[in-house]
Amino acid sequence: MPSEPPMPNCAAPPLRRRLPKLGPIALILLATLAAGWPIAALIGERETRQAGLRADFMKSWGPDQTVQAPVLVVPYVDAGGLSRHYLKIAPESLSTTVGLVPERRTRGLFSATVYTASVGMAGIFSIPSQSNVEERVGRGATILWKESLLSLEASALTGMTTGDHAAWDGAAIPWRNCGELIDPIEECRDSLLVARPPAAAIPAAGRRIPFQATMTLRGTGAFRHVLMGRQAELVIAAPWPTPGFAGGALPSDSTVTDAAFEARWRSVGYGQPSLWTASRLSETLTEARAAPVGVDLLEAVPTYRMIHRTSKYGILFVVLSFTVYGLMELLSVARIHAVQYGLLGASVTLFPLLLVSFAEPLGYAAGYGIGAAFVLTQASLYTAAVTRRMVPTAIFATALGGLFGFLYVLLSLETYSLLVGSVALFLVLSAVMAVTQRVDWRAGEG
């Protein structure tokens, strides 16, 4: 029975002459990838400096502010007359309006988002009955109603103005530092404000007393507020297009435009205590068992996070470039020396360095475009010199330019980046498999 004729060898030069070069090329590929490690370390160092600048602004301008709800604090002495404690009453209802005025502060090439917050609060305190008070403090305790205080705490009191004040049952009362009214002063914190209602305004049990409070605060990056009371509402608005809502609950409703946002939280706190005791005046946030809610003022394009993500894809640029060069050799388009592979890899490896260099003063989008244009131009001109042919050079430039464009789009996708990247990788592998069908891989066998 006649045997089948052998399949024709479509690859012009024998494949066995190219196989010995795979070892040096693999070593050059590993060396090229290793050369990118110092660049990755440099990007990490710049990111650390950016974080350090933000920490400096938190010290000099103001921290991430967390504002608690006002609390009515009533001192009392236990039945034995030996120790002083505090009875704390949460507001029955609380409505808070916060207006943030954000701005970007720069220092050299680095920047941070800071803000000034105008906080306005209004609500009602309901004075508990005698039986509820005795249940908390015990029979025989002496309640010092005339020493009652309206307390309000924030992370820091930076930015407070002389116009900030409180009002109790319609009567204006000034804010004071805790140490001015409380002895011993060790029970106070610098971030705690107090205001003393008029003694005559302390009502009988069951009375519902309206109050107001205003604060002006400076902060960096984020604002939080502790919702407390049986009915609480919070509204935060700012001319900022990219808010990140965070905390124990998301807004009940929100509106976000290209120029501003407004978010509203509503809560009904049946699970929160309306009345509790504490041994120290400053024990408020932990005892309330209420999680803060609020907003982060996010960057529209977080420059260093995007640069860091881009640098992780540096291996794709090197592998794609080497793959295209390898296909040129396999398809007998050109003979390329191992040193030329190395120079191409060095050119492509510089992209993350160019990206961070231009992105710091110009922004991520401009830095990406300029860095990609530099590398694409250099690598394409070098390929033209190596192959001395227009078609292979055009194919290489199209492949590398397509990868730059695809990666930019991929990194901008938050939800579907994995899906799109996986499909694209599959399509690229399919294209390589289709192109290499012309290669007779058995030609290298003995």
Residue with tokens 């990609």: 372
Q: What is the pLDDT of residues 73-91, one digit of tens each?
A: 888 888 777 788 888 888 9
Helix, coil or strand: residue 133: helix
Domain assignment present for 1: no
Q: Residues 234, 329: one domain?
A: no
Structural domains counted in the chain: 2
Q: Residues 215, 165: one domain?
A: yes
What pLDDT band is residue 415 in, cutting at 50, 70 and 90?
low
Distance CA 72, CA 233 (A): 19
Q: Residues 146, 70: one domain?
A: yes
Given a contact cutoff of 8 angstroms between Cβ atoms, the answer to whether 150 and 166 are in contact is: yes
Q: Residues 262, 137: one domain?
A: yes
Among 233-237, 323-327, 362-366, the minimum mean pLDDT is found in 323-327
Domain assignment present for 2: no
- Per cent of the chain over pLDDT 90 is 25
Q: What is the pLDDT of residue 413?
A: 77
Chain centre distance of CA 183: 41
Q: What is the pLDDT of residue 9?
A: 43
Distance CA 194, CA 176 (A): 5
Domain assignment present for 8: no
Q: What is the pLDDT of residues 20-76, one digit of tens each?
A: 567 787 888 888 878 778 888 888 888 888 888 888 888 889 999 999 889 998 888
Q: Residues 351, 237: one domain?
A: no
Structure-block tokens of residue 403: 């990868």
Domain assignment present for 57: no
Mean pLDDT along residues 298-306: 81
Considering only residues 1 and 323, tell me which one the structure prediction assigns the higher pLDDT.
Answer: 323
Domain assignment present for 124: yes
Q: Residues 319, 399: one domain?
A: yes
Q: Residues 295, 343: one domain?
A: no
Looking at 274, 300, 326, the residue that finishes a domain is 300
Q: Residues 290, 313: one domain?
A: no
Looking at 259, 276, 300, the residue that finishes a domain is 300
The domain of 146 spans 63-300
